[in-house]
Amino acid sequence: MKTITIPELKIREIVKEYGTPFHIYDEKTIVDRLNNLISSFDWVDFKEYFAIKANPNPHILKIMQENNCGVDAATVSEIKLAEMAGFSGEEIMFTSNLTTLDAYQYAVERGCIINIDWAADIYELLEAEIIPENICFRLNPGSIENEIMGDSKESKFGSTAGQIKEAIAFLVEQGIKSIGLHTMVVSNENDPQIFGEYTEMLFNFAREIIEEYQIKIDFINIGGGIGIPYQSETEVDVEAIAGAVNESYDKILRENGLQPKIFMESGRYITGESGYLVTRVIKEKETYKKYLGVDASMSDLMRPAMYRSYHYITNLDAEVRGKKKMIEYDVIGSLCENNDKFAIDRKLPESKLGDLLVVHDTGAHGHAMGFNYNGMLRNGEFLYTIDGDIKQIRRDETFEDYTNTVIGGY
């Protein structure tokens, strides 16, 4: 059984004033995860660059800024969101793919670290006289597999080792003295051995580059990818993950007199467990199965539909009634898509119309992946602050918001 870290009374106060559905985040959980990650890597010069894509609300990004993090931006819009929250310059890592010269120009003008996905872009950049001060290359090793990321040979991200070496040789000819390296090959992964293995590969590649091209590597961004326990309350052993990275670092780099900084871009681990989607049962249906229809949909949380991922569900009102009979339900939304389901064949306490359901672990890739299919309007977000207050950080989208980009003449 998973507990909710936000007081039930506070959730019901929001429901009474604003209705359902909505997302809410626990600030204390976010800060606790940040502190745990940072302290676990205290053996090296370390910085966390929070992956904006996980939760791009500027109020959430401001928490990162107040806790000495950087941010990882994938688009110009995400750079702008970072700037809204107070980030600037090298506090922003621009990690994009299929990147246009205009996007590069925007990031370079703002002094962001430019993490180049396709190594050949460097030739186009220099030809266009767009000269980044801080250049990093994203490696696709072609040798790592992960359940969510898949086989890295099939990944659209990054460049091969050979392509990166060619680009570095070119930069050395241009007088570049230092670079960064990056890889991101796992997602929602908690096995320390996996982190040890792929960082060993990355650190070996870094040492090769230093030895072959006599160039300094300022930092190595080992990506994010640390998962969260969607089906249990067991805490992720981040210290063990950091320990596995430390072992690789010592063996390959430190023992050879090399001590580059280590960066990460964790998103899910930082905000995932902080978030909850609160929704209400609006319909009971029975055909070949029993269904609980709720007023949220996959437009509020796409992960179960996209990945068949598991999110724990608490029925607040069934708990008040006292847990008795358990029934197997599909918990569904109202979109015209059969995969609009939050849970399939899930045993839950007997539920009734009007019951409040809380879907756990939605603080990363939840609201951020929302969309407007069927004209569904995106719902509001709230923050439960460390001081115990409720702060609305995004209002519900209105129909006017949805249509304000439509050109007249209809």
pLDDT (tens digit, 0 to 9) for every residue of the chain, 410 residues total? 899 999 999 999 999 999 999 999 999 999 999 999 999 999 999 999 999 999 999 999 999 999 999 999 999 999 999 999 999 999 999 999 999 999 999 999 999 999 999 999 999 999 999 999 999 999 998 765 545 444 556 778 899 999 999 999 999 999 999 999 999 988 899 999 999 999 999 999 999 999 999 999 999 999 999 999 999 888 999 999 999 999 999 999 999 999 999 999 999 999 999 999 999 999 999 999 999 999 999 999 999 999 999 999 999 999 888 867 999 999 999 999 999 999 999 999 999 999 999 999 999 999 999 999 999 999 999 999 999 999 999 999 999 999 999 998 77
Residues 248 and 310 both lie in one domain: no
225 within a domain of the structure (yes/no): yes
The two structure tokens encoding residue 308: 């068949």
**What pLDDT, on a 0 to 100 scale, did the predictor assign at position 277?**
98
> How far apart, in Å, are the Cα atoms of 16 and each of 9, 13, 275, 278, 383?
10, 5, 19, 12, 16
The two structure tokens encoding residue 338: 């059969």
Nearest to 2 by CA among 236, 346, 312: 312
Conformational region of residue 173, where left means phi above 0, alpha means psi within -120 to 50, and beta covers everything else: alpha
Residues 264 and 277 both lie in one domain: no
For 368, the enclosing helix (H) or strand (E) is none
The two structure tokens encoding residue 137: 């290359």
Number of structural domains found in the chain: 2
**What pLDDT, on a 0 to 100 scale, did the predictor assign at position 155?**
74
65 within a domain of the structure (yes/no): yes
CB atoms near residue 17 (< 10 Å): 9
Residue 336 catalytic? yes
Please say which residue of 218, 238, 271 terminates a domain: 271
Residues 89 and 226 both lie in one domain: yes
For 69, the enclosing helix (H) or strand (E) is none
Per-residue DSSP letter, 223: -
Task: Give the active site residue among 69, 112, 136, 336.
Answer: 336
324-346 pLDDT, tens digit per residue, is 799 999 999 999 999 999 999 99
Task: Supply the CATH number for residue 376's domain.
Answer: 2.40.37.10
Cα-Cα-Cα-Cα torsion 373, 379, 385, 388, nearest 10 degrees, comes to -140
The two structure tokens encoding residue 156: 């659209």
Give the three-state DSSP class for 3.
coil
**What pLDDT, on a 0 to 100 scale, did the predictor assign at position 142?**
75
Range of the domain at 41: 27-271
Residues 160 and 174 both lie in one domain: yes
- Between CA 358 and CA 48 the distance in angstroms is 30
Residues 349 and 362 both lie in one domain: yes
409 within a domain of the structure (yes/no): no
Residues 148 and 206 both lie in one domain: yes
351 within a domain of the structure (yes/no): yes
Main-chain phi, psi angles of 77, to 5 degrees? -60, -40
pTM: 0.95
**What pLDDT, on a 0 to 100 scale, did the predictor assign at position 150?**
46
The two structure tokens encoding residue 214: 């006599």
**What pLDDT, on a 0 to 100 scale, did the predictor assign at position 148?**
40
